[in-house]
């Protein structure tokens, strides 16, 4: 249900239930979580590229798994989130390596919000982001109530979440919800090039940069200056920093090793 392959420092993770628009069942959750654990554990992984197989990125939770007509006790959705979604979302945020998401088609419900949890989001021009939750009586989960509000502010976050209207990729980019909308035919090439470039970067410095930017939202200016001092101290001790300065002085391209 998830294809995982490492090449030249990039761990490529492809949601792979195309006949169900890559909607999430338990198996796919566990496989996605395992992929991000691998990204954390393997030093050879220096960037992650997340995408979907087929015409969609992900339609969120597999609602076929949740058919109320089948009877039985109502499932505890809080438990589903805590067990299957939230661990993966926490891993993505905590991973001190860049996570690029190539949204190749529709991203609905939790599928949209998993994409929005990644560090750099590129989307095909034909892709749509749909906060589908309100259509079925649910609330925006998978970090959506947080990401939408932090990124867009209350007016747009509320409108998207309350109406479940699709948001096209160009508007998502114009609003700053994602990094870029890319012509469909160019999406994977551009995402792969970006992932390769970041995987060849100074991994520790990039990871610290991610940590700092994520911390900024909840820190005072003073506390952030302290954190920058500590992170820069750490970055300044890396071999990649020495290489970067040496390469600059020698007027050549640096060869970073992620150390």
Neighbours of 74 (CB within 10 A): 7
Residue with smaller CB distance to ligand LHQ, 51 or 80? 80
The label of the residue with tokens 């109406």 reads 163
Residue 194 near ligand LHQ by CB under 6 A: no
* Residue 108 engages ligand LHQ in binding (rule: CB under 6 A): yes
**Residue number with CB closer to ligand LHQ (157 or 199):** 157
Kindly state the number of chain residues that form the binding site for ligand LHQ, as judged by CB under 6 A. Answer: 24
52 binding ligand LHQ? (CB under 6 A): no
The nearer residue to ligand LHQ, 55 or 180, going by C-beta atoms, is 55
- Our measurement of the distance from residue 258's CA atom to the centroid of its chain's CA atoms, rounded to an integer in Å, reads 21
Closer by beta carbon to ligand LHQ, 73 or else 217: 73
Strand, helix or coil at 25? coil
Cross-strand bridge partners of residue 5: 12
Cα torsion 215, 171, 49, 89 to 10°: value is 50
Contact 49, 12 (CB under 8 A): yes
Q: Which residues ranging from 117 to 136 are in contact with ligand LHQ (CB under 6 A)?
A: 130, 132-133, 135-136
Least Å distance, CB 28 to ligand LHQ, is 11
Please report how close the Cβ of residue 217 comes to ligand LHQ at its closest, in angstroms.
24
The length of the chain is: 259
Contact between 148 and ligand LHQ per CB under 6 A = no
Q: How do strand 99-103 and strand 120-124 relate by DSSP bridges?
A: parallel
Q: Yes or no: say if 91 and 117 are a contact pair by the CB < 8 Å rule.
A: no
Cβ neighbour number for residue 226 with a 10 Å cutoff = 12
Give Cβ neighbours of residue 227 (< 8 Å, ≥ 6 apart).
Answer: 212, 215, 219
By CB under 6 A, residue 20 contacts ligand LHQ? yes
The answer to whether residue 30 forms part of the interface with ligand LHQ (CB under 6 A) is no
| Tokens coding 204 | 């520790």
User: If binding is defined by CB under 6 A, does position 31 make contact with ligand LHQ?
Assistant: no
Indicate the residue among 107 and 204 with the shorter CB distance to ligand LHQ. Answer: 107
Q: Which stretch binds ligand LHQ (CB under 6 A): 102-110, 169-177, 185-193, 239-247?
A: 102-110
Touching ligand LHQ, residues 54-93 (CB under 6 A): 59-64, 66, 77, 80-81
- Are 30 and 70 within 8 A, CB to CB? no
Tokens of 244: 């970067």
Q: Does 212 bind ligand LHQ (CB under 6 A)?
A: no
Sort residue 60 into left (φ over 0), alpha (ψ -120 to 50) or beta.
left
Q: How far is the CB of 69 from ligand LHQ (least distance, A)?
A: 14
Among 9, 98, 109, 143, binds ligand LHQ (CB under 6 A): 109
List interacting residues with ligand LHQ (CB under 6 A). Answer: 20-21, 23, 59-64, 66, 77, 80-81, 106, 108-110, 130, 132-133, 135-136, 138, 141
């Amino acid at each position: 249900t998830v294809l995982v392959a490492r090449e030249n420092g990039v761990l490529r993770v492809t949601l792979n239930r195309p006949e169900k628009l890559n909607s999430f069942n338990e198996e796919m959750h566990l496989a996605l979580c395992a992929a991000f654990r691998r990204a954390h554990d393997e030093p050879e992984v220096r960037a992650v590229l997340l995408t979907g197989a087929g015409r969609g990125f992900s339609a969120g939770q597999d609602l076929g798994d949740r058919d109320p007509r089948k009877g039985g006790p109502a499932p505890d959705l809080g438990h589903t989130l805590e067990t299957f979604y939230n661990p993966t979302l926490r891993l993505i945020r905590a991973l001190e390596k860049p996570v690029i998401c190539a949204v190749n088609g529709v991203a609905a419900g939790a599928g949209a919000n998993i994409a929005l949890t990644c560090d750099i989001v590129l989307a095909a021009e034909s892709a749509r982001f749909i906060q589908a939750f309100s259509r079925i009586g649910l609330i925006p989960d998978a970090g959506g109530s947080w990401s939408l509000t932090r990124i867009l502010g209350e007016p747009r976050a509320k409108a998207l979440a309350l109406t479940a209207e699709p948001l096209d990729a160009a508007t998502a980019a114009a609003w700053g919800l994602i990094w870029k909308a890319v012509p469909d035919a160019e999406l994977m090439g551009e995402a792969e090039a970006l992932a390769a470039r970041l995987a060849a970067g100074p991994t520790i410095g990039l990871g610290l940069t991610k940590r700092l930017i994520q911390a900024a939202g909840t820190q005072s200016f003073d506390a952030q200056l302290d954190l920058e001092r500590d992170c820069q101290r750490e970055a300044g001790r890396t071999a990649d920093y020495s290489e970067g300065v040496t390469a600059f002085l020698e007027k050549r391209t640096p060869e970073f090793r992620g150390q």
